Amino acid sequence: MMKLYTQQEVKARAARILSMPAGIRLGTINEFRDMATGDTAYGIREEYYPDKPNQFFKDVLSIIDKSNGGE
């Protein structure tokens, strides 16, 4: 299966999430956790990430988890 994203996109999204204020960051991380398992996160996936597979969200979360010591 063709990868529909680049590692640069993953790193950029993780950096953007990590730069958010704590409350927004934690909510966004929870939404990414939902989307990593195939959920829509209240329609966010369809609106903003329609072509991204579950693995994209898992890859972003992996970087975030490493940066936060497993937050």
For the chain, the domains span: 7-67
One-letter amino acid identity for 19?
S
Three-state DSSP at 58 gives: helix
Q: In 31-51, which positions are buried (b, 16+ CB within 10 angstroms) versus exposed (e)?
A: bbebbbeeeebeeebeeebee
If pLDDT is split at 50, 70 and 90, which confidence band does 2 have?
A: low
Three-state DSSP at 28 gives: helix
pLDDT exceeds 90 at position 10: yes
Q: Is 0.85 surpassed by the pTM of this model?
A: yes
- In the numeric block, the tokens 């990430």 are attached to 49
Q: How far apart are CA 10 and CA 16, in angstroms?
A: 10
Tens of pLDDT, residue by residue over 29-43, are: 999 999 999 999 999
